[in-house]
Amino acid sequence: MIDPRLRTLQLVAHHGSVSAAARALHFTSSAVSQQLRALSDELGVVLVRQVGRRMEPTAAGHVLLRHAEALHARAEVARAELAGVEDSPGTIGLCGFSTAAARFLVPAAAALRDRFPGLVIQVVEAEPARCIDLLLAGDCDLALLVVDDSVPSETDERFEQHTVLDEPIDLAVPVGHHLTTRSEVTLVDAAAESWITCRPGSAYHRLTLAACQAAGFRPSVAHHAEEWDTGTALVAHGFGIFMLPRLAPVAPGTDVVRVRLSGTAAPIRRVVAVTRAGGAAQPVIVHALTSITRSAESSR
């Protein structure tokens, strides 16, 4: 068993904060600080120090983190090999953002239940940053994420990434809107509109701003909506327009038209499946990834 204090050190390094690491681990801040002090005392080195407003690993901390990441990856490989030897149902945690949870994770959970009777399955709906915390804390084993600046890069050795889908983004506009009469529409054509986005700081808010900025303008945001139903209801009543992923549902009877965006700059959101390094070899995760891939292919 790997010393759980190494996981604590990883979360502190990831967030640059004891309090944020404590929230991710469901610990108190004092418990996290005590673990770090105990590990430092045991090894005889200082592992983290305050730099400005962030808690940063020292040179010794970086050395230990490198070995911790390698140990955790080997542990995941060992679990995969053990699963091949012992036919034990075990447990799996799946997490992901709202649309992916509904379209891909729940069918994957059902497929796992059928294939591995007795397997304990937990599905958690969460934003990408929270999903990364769940992976690092060991609370989930596979996450479906929209790639944005909160998601670690493909070269991050703590994780393995598998592209699931490049999902087109449409514009949701009210029935009778002038953009519905055009044969081709780009984001620039909607630059003067009032916009509806998710709350500031959320993954989808960042995606909307980035897409509009890439098209050369900053959107005039009039309203914020957390759920697709709220956003499309605001659109239907003429309060603005809304960027709507192709997989996102529109409630029947809503007076909203999807307008497909054209051109090389038409926005997409990349959906990836992320596991801890070495974890993708586990039979249950292989089966989950296969189910997710099939669901994504059928939705194209």
User: Where a domain ends, among 69, 88, 107?
Assistant: 88
CB 130 within 8 A of CB 25: no
Nearest to 11 by CA among 151, 135, 152: 135
User: Where a domain ends, among 70, 88, 106?
Assistant: 88
Residue 160 lies in a domain: no
Give, in degrees to the nearest 5, the angle at Cα 278 between 28 and 153.
Answer: 70
Q: How far is CA 86 from the centre of its chain?
A: 31
Q: Is the pLDDT of residue 87 over 70?
A: no
Give, in degrees to the nearest 5, the angle at Cα 280 between 277 and 281.
Answer: 110
CA–CA distance, 25 with 5 (Å, rounded to integer): 11
User: Which pLDDT does position 151 carry in this prediction?
Assistant: 83
Global pTM reads 0.76
Same domain, 175 and 82: no
Residue 273 lies in a domain: no
Residue 201 lies in a domain: yes
CA–CA distance, 8 with 183 (Å, rounded to integer): 54
Give the CATH number, domain containing residue 30: 1.10.10.10
User: Which pLDDT does position 86 carry in this prediction?
Assistant: 57
User: Which pLDDT does position 115 carry in this prediction?
Assistant: 92
Question: Which residue in this structure is represented by tokens 């799996």?
Answer: 92
Average pLDDT, the chain: 89
Q: Is the pLDDT of residue 94 over 80?
A: yes
CA–CA distance, 184 with 179 (Å, rounded to integer): 9
Q: Is the pLDDT of residue 88 over 70?
A: no
User: Which pLDDT does position 203 carry in this prediction?
Assistant: 76
Same domain, 171 and 264: yes
Segment 94-102 shows an average pLDDT of: 91
Segment 285-300 shows an average pLDDT of: 90
Instruction: Give the range of the structural domain holding residue 204, as residue numbers without chain letter.
Output: 165-268
At 149, list the tokens. Answer: 């600046």
User: Which pLDDT does position 80 carry in this prediction?
Assistant: 66
At 276, list the tokens. Answer: 């801890």
User: Which pLDDT does position 96 carry in this prediction?
Assistant: 94
Instruction: pLDDT band for 4, please (50, 70, 90 cuts).
Output: confident
Residue 169 lies in a domain: yes
Q: Is the pLDDT of residue 196 over 90?
A: yes
User: Where a domain ends, among 29, 56, 88?
Assistant: 88
Q: Is the pLDDT of residue 259 over 60?
A: yes
User: Which pLDDT does position 81 carry in this prediction?
Assistant: 65
Nearest to 122 by CA among 144, 105, 136: 105
What spatial distance separates the first Cα and last Cα of the chain, rounded to whole Å? 42
Segment 224-247 shows an average pLDDT of: 94
Count how many domains the chain has. Answer: 2
User: Which pLDDT does position 85 carry in this prediction?
Assistant: 53
Q: For 246-255, how does the pLDDT look when each residue is reduced to its tens digit (9 = 90+)?
A: 988 888 889 9
User: Which pLDDT does position 170 carry in this prediction?
Assistant: 95
Q: Is the pLDDT of residue 269 over 70?
A: yes
Give, in degrees to the nearest 5, the angle at Cα 132 between 144 and 215.
Answer: 65
User: Which pLDDT does position 221 carry in this prediction?
Assistant: 95
User: Which pLDDT does position 148 carry in this prediction?
Assistant: 80
At 67, list the tokens. Answer: 């070995």
